[in-house]
Chains A and B, each alone.
Chain A
Amino acid sequence: MIRFEEVTKEYPDGTRAVKNLNLEIRKGEFVCLIGPSGCGKTTTLKMVNRLVEPTRGTIYVDGQDIMKVDPVHLRRRIGYVIQQIGLFPHMTIEENIALVPRLLGWDRERCRRRVEELLPLVGLDPDQYRHRYPRELSGGQQQRVGVLRALAAEPDLILMDEPFGALDPITREALQDELKKLQAKLHKTILFVTHDMDEALKLADRIVLMKDGEVVQDGSPEDLLRHPANDFVAAFIGRERMAQAVGATPVEELMIRRPVTAGPSKGLAEAVQLMRQKRVDSVVVVDEDNRLLGVVTARQIQQHRDRARTLGEIMSGEPACVEVGAPVTEALQRMFVERLDHLPVVDRERRLVGLITRTTLVDLLSREGWPNGSPGGSGQGVSA
């Protein structure tokens, strides 16, 4: 839908607002451009409808080089919402919404029908509001109309430049929810500039984080929260949000990936040897298909070494386990309640994929932004 190729924007005073930007936005994607002020996000947005023209590089919209398209025609097929709302105060709500359709030469009746169709989408009664003037509406209602105005001529692509930035927090949240619902219904391609991380996390399918005219990270909200590319990203996201996200981390991210395993027929002496070699205090017992059978700890071997010969004889039947995808916090909760030292992680077919131990908790704590905690570090460490 939109493709930036090596796009640079230099202002006459020499500042480079955007540097060699390469970015592709697919049809139907909701992409948030985010970053501190002066990072080039708004410049990037405004280059799409040629309110700002790139110094170098090419921008394609729908496969067309936009520098080869008449800017007036280009803009009429791209919706545009600005922070200051920008409704024309001397026009009624209907006139405001129907402005681009009118520019495109739609007849009166079609404009009227379109307004009637659009207003209910944001919970405004057409009969009540169409003939009012922007001044007679609250800020939130005005920006709802601002969004509708961008949708009026049915563009596939909509540019939004901090559209909710000037609204109070409660109204802002209501409008975000409405936009999300609207997007679920209409599947537009939306490029959305914001400096509010919560907003980006809430709305975006994909977040492009910029700094000093360059993309620092480009990924899903999940990616950014879980694997921030560097300290800048982590700081920008904020520890609090990352910690919240970490709580929902699935077990496979923190588990020990290759726990020490042994078959049920393994002798106790051999098992002790194995544990000593690997410096662990337990082995997971599996069958030939790597299916989980049980867990045997060094303590159990010590208790049973007179009566039993193989691991199969002393392992606890029906061992507790969690499936891949369960949140780490849930696994730790279970270990605490059931007084477990180890919790094997299995896939759907009960095949062993990893092991959660008490040191997993340490990894989790380190992720939550404790001093020297490296966010995004994978769960390695000495096994139990």
Chain B
Amino acid sequence: MAAFLSEFGSYLVSNADRLLELTVEHLQLSLAAVGFGLLVGIPGGVLMARFRRLVGPVLWVTNALQTVPALALAGFLMILFGLGRGTGIAVLFCYTLMPILRATYTGITSVDPALVEAARGMGMTRWQILRMVQLPLALSVLLVGVRVATVIAIGTATILSLIGAGGLGQEIFAGIRRVSDVRILAGAVPAALLAVLADAGISWLERRLTSPGLRVERSAAQS
């Protein structure tokens, strides 16, 4: 065990630059996908909350997308877009969209209708109601979706090196091919750490962004 750890340690040290590069690549891949997920998912969720007829079809499509195995989806998109990073991001985007869409929709529709009516009655425009009332109140639910999306993206990104998207998957698959435990771990451990850190990071963000007025509410509800 000790021998293995020292081998692992020396591998990490001697390959630090390359591993760091892969980690950064991995993170970029995942965050880009989450970014696109937010870009499409939040407006999508807002539209779903406004036009309830969209909810069924949209959730059906995104759910169906979610059930397609990642590798199958990757293969399919590879045929369409070819190898490379862009395709990787597109695959991950398909998986980040559903949680964000769903969380946005749930968050907005769970805002007390009395508050929305009060806002309307006071003379806020739809946009003001969304920006000043609905989104701030939906934030904590929304961030749960973002958290799920980010963790899924970081996890799924590991297999996308197969379609040339890069990232820590490269190291893991190299290790598998060479039956090198050290190399498998050198890819897997940073990937796992990345997921854990992203999760913690978003929790921190949630605490920072949520109004103190809402924090009191939650702690009061718990006690």
Contacts and interface: CB of A to CB of B under 8 A. Distances in A.
Interface of A: 49, 51, 71-77, 80, 82, 84, 86, 88-92, 99-100, 103, 133-136, 149, 159
Interface stretch (B111-119, B149-157, B186-194): B111-119
Most buried by A among B122, B128, B211: B122
B127 to A, nearest CB: 11
B214 A74 contact: no
A74 B121 CA distance: 9
Contacts, number: 72
A92 B211 CA distance: 9
B119 to A, nearest CB: 8
B123 A135 contact: no
A90 B122 contact: no
Contacts of A135: 213, 216-217, 220
Contacts of B29: none
Contact of B133 (A80, A84, A88, A136): A88
B137 A75 contact: no
A90 B107 CA distance: 14
A92 B121 contact: no
A90 B124 contact: no
A90 B114 contact: no
Contacts of B112: 84
Given A72-B125, A103-B124, A86 B117 contact: yes
B120 interface: yes
Contact of B117 (A51, A73, A92): A51
Interface string B73-113: 00000000000000000000000000000000000000010
A80 B213 contact: no
A86 B115 contact: yes
Given A80-B118, A82-B114, A90 B214 contact: yes
B212 interface: yes
A84 B114 contact: yes
A236 to B, nearest CB: 27
Interface of B: 112, 114-115, 117-125, 128, 132-133, 136-137, 210-214, 216-217, 220
A103 B123 contact: yes
B128 A103 contact: yes
B121 A90 contact: no
A76 B123 CA distance: 5
Nearest to B118: A86
Given A51-B117, A90-B213, A103-B122, 9 more contacts: A72-B124, A74-B123, A75-B123, A80-B121, A82-B114, A91-B211, A92-B213, A99-B122, A135-B213
Contacts of B123: 71-77, 100, 103
A149 B216 CA distance: 22
Given A72-B123, A75-B123, A90-B211, A136 B216 contact: yes
A86 B215 CA distance: 18
B213 A134 contact: yes
B216 A90 contact: no
A74 B124 CA distance: 11
A75 B115 contact: no
Contacts of B122: 75-76, 80, 99-100, 103, 149
A268 B218 CA distance: 91
A90 B217 CA distance: 10
B114 A86 contact: yes
Nearest to A77: B123
24 contacts: A49-B121, A71-B123, A72-B123, A74-B123, A75-B121, A82-B118, A82-B121, A84-B114, A84-B118, A86-B115, A86-B117, A88-B119, A90-B211, A91-B211, A91-B213, A99-B122, A100-B122, A103-B122, A103-B124, A133-B216, A134-B213, A135-B213, A135-B220, A149-B122
Shortest beta-carbon contacts, A-B, top 3: A133-B213, A86-B118, A76-B123
Contact of A89 (B117, B121, B124, B137): B137
B120 to A, nearest CB: 6
A86 B133 CA distance: 11
A90 B220 CA distance: 15
A139 B128 CA distance: 26
Nearest to A91: B213
B115 A88 contact: yes
A73 B115 CA distance: 19
A2 B142 CA distance: 43
A49 B114 CA distance: 16
Nearest to B218: A135
Contacts of A99: 122
